[in-house]
Structure 1
């Protein structure tokens, strides 16, 4: 078994991967965002986020994303919330999630959205499967 901490980037394709990716990494009203857990079924993604920032602006942005088929926001205080988002997937999102959620790989939360457009997370699994995932969906080792 191997453990790696990786950083991925959309390489300017945030909207292609999924519009929520750009909201969590680049929206001026999001100060910090973390994905706590998810359930990926291939055609849909349910994901729980912890977000620090302007919750009203976040909700307005979520309502404008056609791929979002449902959401719920639980405010923690004036500047933070938990957000459950269920959305349909795009082809690039399916490619990314099928790569990191197949075989013996385990992605360990939290998944940290960075303001530079990258996402950082840990992967555990067999060395050969981690290397295969890197060939399909390139990531930077941290």
Structure 2
């Protein structure tokens, strides 16, 4: 079974208000759509969210189509991260924009494989599998205002995403710079100061980019290898 790994880039008019909040507020990192149920009258979704819970709740409160939600925090000791993490159970009235986008990816012959990652750079990443002709048709009917980048095409395997941790461009730059300077050699040759100098940022910022990128890689590896 073939699959396509895609990155969606939204115009201002197409991006969901809650996703917009994730792109604009430094307290937010990402949310992942884990499961969903759609009817003509109401959409019901379960998200995993990384970022400020109060900030996310405010974004939900400001979005008119949201009818009901419940946020459940995840203990930080269980996740090993300094960021707030929680589940969001959300019920919303479907908008025309949402209908157009979901219809494109729920056409005959294709399946969207969760999760769908909504990231802080305003993009969303998802995996779609199905028959080659159907996959091609999906990319042709994505609504105006949403640009699709095809990141990978191949034969589907549930472990294919293990090395796709969705790091930001800056985090990726930090990893590459660290590798090239010998930061990961044994014994270590490069330093955070050298990485920061190459990136043109402070040592603290370089360290933060590295820690976040490393955590995403380890998290993705553990998730995919323990399923």
For normalisation by structure 1, the TM-score amounts to: 0.89
SS at match of 1:52: strand
- For the 8 Å contact 2:109–2:131, the answer to whether it is kept is yes
- 2:167 aligns with none
- 1:12 aligns with 12
SS at match of 1:139: strand
Q: Alpha carbon RMSD of aligned pairs, Å? A: 1.7
From 37, 57, 64, the counterpart of 1:59: 57
Equivalent residues, number: 140
- For the 8 Å contact 2:18–2:56, the answer to whether it is kept is no
Of the structure 1 ranges 19-28 and 106-115, higher mean CA displacement relative to structure 2 is found in 19-28
Of the structure 1 ranges 97-106 and 16-25, higher mean CA displacement relative to structure 2 is found in 16-25
- 1:49 aligns with 47
Q: Which runs of 5+ in 2 are unaligned?
A: 77-83, 152-227
Give the direction of change, closer, same or farther, for the CA distance of 1:9–1:42 in structure 2 (3 Å limit).
farther
- 2:126 aligns with 121
- The CA distance in 1 between the partners of 2:8 and 2:41, in whole Å, is 22
- The CA distance in 1 between the partners of 2:7 and 2:107, in whole Å, is 19
Mark the structure with the bigger radius of gyration.
2
- 2:33 aligns with 35
From 17, 20, 23, the counterpart of 2:21: 23
Choose between structure 1 and 2 for higher RCO, CA contacts under 8 A separated by at least 6 residues. 1
Instruction: Give the Å deviation of 1:49.
Output: 0.8
Of the structure 1 ranges 34-43 and 48-57, higher mean CA displacement relative to structure 2 is found in 34-43
- For the 8 Å contact 1:3–1:125, the answer to whether it is kept is yes
- The CA distance in 1 between the partners of 2:120 and 2:16, in whole Å, is 16
From 95, 101, 107, the counterpart of 2:100: 95
- 2:148 aligns with 139
If each structure's strand is expressed as a fraction of its own residues, which one has the higher value? 1
Q: Which runs of 5+ in 1 are unaligned?
A: none
- 1:69 aligns with 67
Instruction: Give the Å deviation of 1:28.
Output: 2.6
- For the 8 Å contact 2:107–2:138, the answer to whether it is kept is no
- For the 8 Å contact 2:44–2:92, the answer to whether it is kept is yes
Give the direction of change, closer, same or farther, for the CA distance of 1:39–1:25 in structure 2 (3 Å limit).
farther
Instruction: Give the Å deviation of 1:60.
Output: 1.7
